[in-house]
Amino acid sequence: MTFDVAFAWSILPSLLKGLAVTFQVVVLGFVAALCLGLTLAVLRHAGRGPVPALTRAYVMFISHTPLLVQLFFLYFVLPQIGLRFSAMTTGILGLGLYFGAYIAEAWRGAIEDIHYGQWEAARALDLPPLATWIRIILPQTVKPMLPVLGNYLIGMFKETPLLAMITIPELFQITKQIADLTYNYNETYTLLGLLFLLISVPSSLLFQYLEKRSHGKSRVA
């Protein structure tokens, strides 16, 4: 059982470069997912005709199929219908479409949890629908949504290794290349796992802390 520390140290800069790409994809993908999720959740409530049913079908389909296959679909099929994106853009789009569905579902729940008196009050005060959404309803969903969004952010980070399968040079792809080139599987993948732990454990603890604080006193087991 050997672990070449010098080698691990020497590949760290390359891995950190990959990590930077990972962060970039996660941030942009998350912004896309937020926009899509919010739009879908609002449309589910306020849309007319077939719109709510369509948003529901979208969420259903996306959440019942693997992200990996969705990425392959976007990566291989979009160019065939004339939409040529870089691998990066495809990856961001894929993460956005996938997590957008999950965020939409959570946000819908948050909207439904708002007391109906709020809607009635807005109506009684003759607020236009847009103002009701922007100034009454949505601000009240922010607090319950924050821990959920935090979990999805970490979840998205942990799904990024899949992007290596569509050739994005993120952390996992870089690690895999080094491992296949040098046959030092132990050092490379151990370092990769450590980097993942280093980021996801503190951030998950942070979100747990924030969630507990926002709930007041935590429930005693």
Partner 1 sequence: MRRLKNNTRKGNGLNAVMSFETAWFIAQTLAKGAVVTLEITVLAALLALPLGFAVALLRVSPWRVTRLLSTVYVEFLRGTSALVQLFYLFFVFPPLFGVVLSPMETGVIGLGVNFSAYASEIIRSALINIDRGQRDAVLALDFPPMEAFRRVLLPQVMPLMLPPLGILLIELLKSTSLVYTITLMDLTFAGHNIITSVGYQTTTWTVVLLCYFMLAWPLSRMVKRYERHLTRHRTARGQA
Which residues within the stretch 125-144 sit at the binding site for partner 1 (CB under 8 A)? none
DSSP state for residue 134 in the 8-state scheme: I
218 binds partner 1 (CB under 8 A): no
Q: Which stretch binds partner 1 (CB under 8 A): 72-80, 85-93, 118-126, 133-141?
A: 72-80
DSSP per position, 32-78: HHHHHHHHHHHHHHH--TTHHHHHHHHHHHHHTS-HHHHHHHHHHHG
Which residues within the stretch 4-63 sit at the binding site for partner 1 (CB under 8 A)? 60-61
209 binds partner 1 (CB under 8 A): no
64 binds partner 1 (CB under 8 A): yes
Report d(CA 72, CA 117) in Å as an integer.
Answer: 46
Packed helices 171-182 and 5-46: angle between N→C axes, nearest 10 degrees: 150
Q: Write down the least CB distance from residue 147 to partner 1, Å.
A: 15
Taking CB under 8 A as the criterion, the residue among 19, 42, 70, 103 binding partner 1 is 70
Name 140's Cβ contacts closer than 8 Å, sequence gap at least 6: 114, 118
* Residues 171/160, Cβ–Cβ less than 8 Å: yes
Residues in contact with partner 1 by CB under 8 A are 1, 60-61, 64-70, 72-73, 76-77, 80-81, 158-162, 165, 172, 176, 179, 185-186, 189-190, 192-193, 196-197, 200-201, 204, 221
